[in-house]
Amino acid sequence: MTIKEIASMIDISAVRAESTWNEIEDILRATAKYPFICVFSMPGMIDRILPYRNEIPNLRIGGIVGFPSGGETLEAKLFEARQMKEKGCDEVDMVLNIGKLKSGMLDEVKAEIEQIKAVVSPLPLKVIMEVVLLTDEEITAASKIIRDAGAAFVKTGTGWAGATTEHHIEVIKAAVGDTIPLKVAGGVRSLDTLLKMRDMGVSRFGIGYKSALGIMREAEERGWL
């Protein structure tokens, strides 16, 4: 693979509660060098990022909804989703209602995704299930709900709760195969991990900015162009 191909699989992010504007500026400078798919920040920083579209032709901006808990009211999530679209985001990642999923309220979980998808359409909606908080049975159910609700991607986590493992990927793939693309977030901190997960069928990665830049440096050190 080339460095460009690696970068084109990565959503680079600074979405911790303590993420600073200086860190986001680092991401923006990196995106001017590497063609990362999307830049993600906490919602309060979106307005500061938008003007950089004038300087970085390939800049795509992601918005997050219900992040990181997923437990907000539907009305709150719909407002946030609408706001992210109206501000000019190119993609939206939402956290499904984890508590309702674990309570077996599967119809409500699906209906929420469908309503948020309708609000952000035609933007792609990626839906986060937070695999480290779920049993294999819950991961299977969530994967099918996300697919059947019409989301663009199943996403494993926020990166706040812990790392996605190869086992998590295997469970998701057993549930939905290649019928919906898979985005992994949480714990991808090396080029070798990214490549192994790509070979398992992962097509997108959400990676914190320090790890993402470290992966790009690894690729350069290996002589990739």
CA distances from 49 to 23, 167, 204 (A): 12, 36, 22
Handedness of CA 34, 35, 41, 44 (dihedral sign): positive
Tokens of 147: 């697919």
| Annotated catalytic residue within 85, 117, 144, 155 | 155
CA distances from 34 to 152, 204, 205 (A): 24, 15, 15
**In this structure, are residues 159 and 13 in contact, taking their beta carbons and an 8 Å threshold?**
yes
- Mark whether 155 is an active-site residue: yes
| Annotated catalytic residue within 11, 93, 117, 126 | 93
Tokens of 45: 């920083």
Angle at 34 between CA 182 and CA 154, to 5 degrees: 10
Contacts of residue 106, Cβ cutoff 8 Å, sequence gap at least 6:
141, 145
- Mark whether 136 is an active-site residue: no
- Mark whether 173 is an active-site residue: no
Catalytic residues: 93, 155, 183
